[in-house]
Chain A
Amino acid sequence: QLQLQESGPGLVKPSETLSLTCTVSGDSMTSSSYYWAWIRQPPGKGLEWIGSIYYSGRAYYEPSLKSRLSLPLDASKNQFSLNLTSVTAADTAIYYCVRHFVVAGSIPQFDHWGQGSLVIVSS
């Protein structure tokens, strides 16, 4: 059974880098059917796609975050990560790692979600 688990600091200072890691168990990250994504949700608000990465390294980013974002992936460890630089209070959110399932004839769907990791940006 596929499981995704986020890990990382729950508190980050303004202007510093937010770093989270997602560990995937129960499936291979190198399947051609999957991207691996990050989605965030500010407290009490809606969902925002951050970016998606393929095992080959091909990645797609939310344009408004692209200049501050990197999504490294290490398939040998079954992990992918999120690095967001120069954070502000606006980056405070629950961060979810998600499997982004590519389906022929349709747009990819976010079909498995981690439990989420709350990251607060505050001094």
Chain B
Amino acid sequence: QSVLTQPPSVSGAPGQRVTISCTGSSSNIGAGYDVHWYQQLPGTSPKLLLYANNNRPSGVPDRFSGSKSGASASLAITGLQAEDEGDYYCQSYDNSRSTLYVFGTGTKVTVL
């Protein structure tokens, strides 16, 4: 039961910039909790892409960036590459007691 809403899909040509939104509520992102982002390439396990809104783990290209404002967050991919095609998930914490760690609904990025 995802409580973070993402667009089902986004697409762009190689070299373009795409953004993925992640909309939460006052019990998660809006309560001030950080957002992490995960990348899942076809047939693989998810991988931590950004942590604490806009921090890249070692090895993640600086083409990936994030931001957070109010009850929403977003992931931007600049200079889109074919290897970026896959699914992207946001994740945060929820204090509503209906769950604790929540994921977004997921967004499929297609490189045209």
Binding site for B on A (CB under 8 A): 46-49, 52, 60, 62-64, 96, 103, 105-116
Q: Knowing A49-B102, A62-B100, A106-B52 touch, does A113 contact B89 (C-beta < 8 A)?
A: no
Kindly state whether residue B48 has any CB partner on chain A within 8 Å. Answer: yes
Binding site for A on B (CB under 8 A): 1-2, 33-34, 36, 38, 45-48, 51-52, 57, 89, 91-93, 97-106
Residues of the B chain whose Cβ atoms lie less than 8 Å from the Cβ of A108:
101
A64, B38: Cα distance in complex, Å = 24
Is A110 touching B36 in the complex (CB atoms < 8 A)? yes
Select one of B34, B38, B103, B106 contacting A107, CB under 8 A. B34
Is A109 touching B106 in the complex (CB atoms < 8 A)? no
Is B52 touching A96 in the complex (CB atoms < 8 A)? no
A70, B87: Cα distance in complex, Å = 30
Residues of the B chain whose Cβ atoms lie less than 8 Å from the Cβ of A116:
45
Select one of A46, A52, A106 contacting B2, CB under 8 A. A46
Query: Can you list 27 A-B contacts with CB-CB less than 8 angstroms, sorted by A residue number?
Result: A46-B106, A47-B38, A47-B46, A47-B91, A47-B103, A48-B1, A49-B100, A49-B101, A49-B102, A62-B99, A62-B100, A63-B97, A96-B46, A103-B52, A106-B51, A106-B52, A107-B101, A109-B36, A109-B48, A109-B51, A109-B52, A110-B38, A110-B48, A111-B48, A113-B45, A114-B45, A116-B45
